Structure 1
Amino acid sequence: MNSFVHKTLVVEIQAGVADRIPGLAHLSYDPADPFAVTLVFSHGGRVLARWQLDRDMVFDGLTRPTGTGDVRLRPESPGVGRELRMEFFGAAHADGGRHHAVVFAWAETVGDFLRETYRTVAPGHEEVHLDDFLADVLAGG
């Protein structure tokens, strides 16, 4: 049985104050890293960014603002349907500012993906094999 979970969805990337351009987000979940969700953004066949997020943080972001560092999530209701607003802050510019991206995804679609991950590894049943990790680190891998 393949327990890896993957979903591709169309998102909107905020290009200016009000302009949004379509892009793709590839969500993936690997039970071997049970606390993380990987999010890869692409546009025109190019990978724009790759982020690894806390699975529970993404879940929380569907219902309330969460995150204070490089990733901030919050629900929004712009009219028809609910969205998950994702803000990402990257490396600093030479002028002292930071790279900043805002991405919107349909909350229902993200929720469907998360429910599938929770069927794969239920909350509270995540296992981390610390001994294996430490052995790998000590072996130089």
Structure 2
Amino acid sequence: MNPVVHRTLVVQLRADGTGRCPVLAHLSYGADDPFAVTAVFGHDGHVLARWRLDRTMLADGLTGPVGVGDVRLRPVATGMWRELRMDFLGDARPDGSRHHAVVFAWAPAVAAFLRETHAVVAPGQEEVPVDTLLAQILSAG
């Protein structure tokens, strides 16, 4: 049995040149892929984007800025309101710039989701079945 944790959050999306608009973020975590959290962002039944995030990076983003590539996370506080800001850089545009979307999630909700994942696989206890993975790769050829 591979325990799975799911959580759906209402988050705020800000795309290039727009204000914030609410979308759903479906977060999932499974013991069979212990390092990753899948985030699926949707609106009106349509998937807007799907990202695989590093679980440790997601946790670290709640306390300080992390990421230098396509995904960058950092905490944002406005008074007592705490958010996790997630910057996602997408495909290149014809002018050489890249698509850029920012998602703001309520930080305590993300922290609660992460606590649930830690109950499934504690931080530092993640294991990858390397022998099984290699056997699958070699048998595919």
Instruction: Please say which of residues 78-87 and 34-43 is displaced more in the overlay.
Output: 78-87
- Does structure 2 conserve the Cα–Cα contact (< 8 Å) formed by 1:76 and 1:84? yes
Confirm whether residue 14 of structure 1 aligns to residue 17 of structure 2. Answer: no
**TM-score (structure 2 length as normaliser):** 0.95
Aligned amino acid, residue 68 of structure 1: V
Aligned to 2:73: 73
**TM-score (structure 1 length as normaliser):** 0.95
Q: What is the CA-CA distance between 1:80 and the residue it aligns to?
A: 4.0
- Does structure 1 conserve the Cα–Cα contact (< 8 Å) formed by 2:29 and 2:36? yes
Aligned to 1:108: 108
- Alignment partner of 1:90: what SS? strand
Distance in structure 1 (CA, Å) of the matches to 2:79 and 2:19: 16
Aligned to 1:128: 128
Identity of aligned residues (%): 62
Query: Alpha carbons of 1:82 and 1:35: their partners in 2 closer, same or farther (altered >3 Å)?
Result: same
Instruction: Please say which of residues 78-87 and 101-110 is displaced more in the overlay.
Output: 78-87
The alignment covers a number of residue pairs equal to 141
CA RMSD of aligned residues (A): 1.5
**Runs of 4+, deviation exceeding 4 Å:** none
Aligned amino acid, residue 118 of structure 2: Y
- Alignment partner of 1:139: what SS? helix
**Alignment deviations for residues 52-106 of structure 1 (CA, whole Å, 9 cap, x no partner):** 0100000000010000100000000123420000000011111101011000000
Aligned amino acid, residue 66 of structure 2: T
- Does structure 2 conserve the Cα–Cα contact (< 8 Å) formed by 1:40 and 1:50? yes
Gapped regions of structure 2 (runs ≥ 5): none
